[in-house]
């Protein structure tokens, strides 16, 4: 008991919680409380069955494809992501944002992700497929405290987004997260440059491209495992106005790759905004503004270079919204959420499978 407690949280934490009472001097209820407290405070992602992103990103770099970083907020999104990636034989990074943690509850989301992983294992066995590697990742961690909380609760990867801070402050907070995470074998994603657009709490009026001259210094001083850069993508559903041809700055990407060869690069804001689902949502009562996203062929070209993780969120939101609006409009008497959520889940699954096969190149890599 004594060794277990001291090894897990350290003597200082023990003394603080128990005011000097040694394990042998406290009763059964106190001991049970201590065990419950420590399990709540520190949960290893390895025990949950997740992996960190180190190997999957290294494999993607060698294979010239990108691992999908798919965000989820509810059960249907999570089921669609995991089943799509299992059936296409793709590794996957399950991403949880600050907004998702607030909406669905941070504890519930963790156990949902763990349940999805166990579901994947069962389905893999039934279908005689090899289980796929799954990472649980904090998306756009705003500060050290949020990153620490996620790491302590079983996340295998965390992003610390200090891109809106002055350069020195970005390095400082990113290094702090790296120091904490690496002691627990958790991988860390940092960010240089600012993407325009709005998604949850991430807001910026205009883009600020990543400066290739800064990446070497940033990576060296922070010790991050991967780096999100700004080269022309944008957050949210309203990325680019119709008539504007989106253009990823592959020239900047190539310069960055020259500076830090073999280092994992991440692209955020990479949804393509499928026009059929924008039209579907508007046809059945929506009022979405017209916008276009990042072309799939440009994403695929980036994935053949140093980009080995691509984040996609808004496309999933559009698919769900379009399908649900259509079903509710066509059947005025529908009251069973399983019917319209189930249909949305299937449409999501097909969209993710298509992304893996045609855009990211991650299909068939497991």
Which residues participate in catalysis according to the annotation? Answer: 139
Task: State the DSSP H helix or E strand holding residue 330, giving kind and residue range, or none if neither.
Answer: helix 314-330
Please choose, from the candidates 56, 53, 70, the residue with its C-alpha nearest in 3D space to the C-alpha of residue 271.
70
Question: How far is it, in rounded angstroms, from Cα 234 to Cα 271?
Answer: 8
Residue pair 93/69 in contact by the 8 Å Cβ criterion: yes
Indicate the SS3 state at residue 68.
strand
Helix axes of 275-283 and 314-330: crossing angle, nearest 10 degrees: 30
Question: How far is it, in rounded angstroms, from Cα 18 to Cα 31?
Answer: 11
Output the 3-class SS for 111-170.
HHHHHHHHHHHHHHHHCCCCCCCEEEEEEEECCHHHHHHHHHCCCCEEEECCCCCCHHHH
* C-alpha distance from residue 70 to each of 9, 135, 183, 223 (Å): 33, 11, 26, 25
């Amino acid at each position: 008991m004594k060794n277990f407690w001291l090894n897990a949280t350290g003597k200082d934490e023990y003394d603080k919680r128990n005011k000097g009472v040694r394990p042998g001097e406290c009763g059964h209820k106190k001991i049970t409380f201590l065990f419950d407290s420590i399990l709540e405070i520190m949960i290893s992602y390895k025990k949950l069955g997740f992996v960190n992103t180190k190997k999957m990103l290294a494999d993607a770099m060698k294979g010239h494809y990108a691992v999908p970083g798919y965000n989820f907020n509810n059960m249907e999104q999570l089921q669609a992501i995991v089943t799509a990636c299992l059936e296409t034989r793709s590794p996957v990074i399950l991403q949880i944002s600050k907004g998702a943690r607030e909406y669905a509850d941070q504890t519930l989301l963790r156990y949902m992700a763990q349940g999805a992983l166990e579901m994947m294992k069962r389905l893999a066995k039934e279908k005689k497929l090899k289980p796929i590697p799954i990472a649980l990742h904090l998306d756009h961690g705003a500060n050290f405290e949020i990153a620490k909380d996620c790491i302590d609760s079983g996340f295998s990867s965390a992003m610390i987004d200090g891109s809106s801070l002055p350069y020195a402050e970005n390095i400082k907070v990113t290094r702090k997260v790296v120091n904490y995470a690496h002691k627990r074998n958790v991988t860390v994603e940092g960010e240089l440059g600012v993407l325009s657009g709005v998604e949850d709490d991430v807001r910026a009026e205009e883009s600020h491209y990543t400066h290739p001259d800064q990446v070497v210094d940033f990576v060296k001083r922070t010790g991050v495992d991967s780096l999100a850069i700004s080269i022309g993508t944008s957050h949210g559903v309203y990325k680019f106005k119709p008539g504007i041809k989106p253009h990823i700055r592959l020239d900047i990407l190539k310069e960055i790759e020259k500076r830090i060869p073999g280092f994992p690069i991440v692209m955020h804001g990479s949804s393509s905004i499928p026009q059929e689902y924008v039209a579907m949502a508007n046809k059945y009562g929506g009022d979405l503004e017209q916008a276009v996203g990042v072309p799939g062929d440009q994403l695929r070209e980036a994935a053949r270079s140093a980009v080995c993780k691509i984040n996609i969120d808004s496309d999933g939101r559009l698919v769900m919204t379009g399908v649900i609006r259509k079903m509710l409009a066509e059947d005025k008497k529908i009251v069973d959420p399983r019917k319209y959520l189930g249909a949305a889940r299937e449409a999501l699954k097909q969209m993710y499978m298509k992304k893996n096969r045609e855009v990211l190149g991650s299909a068939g890599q497991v």
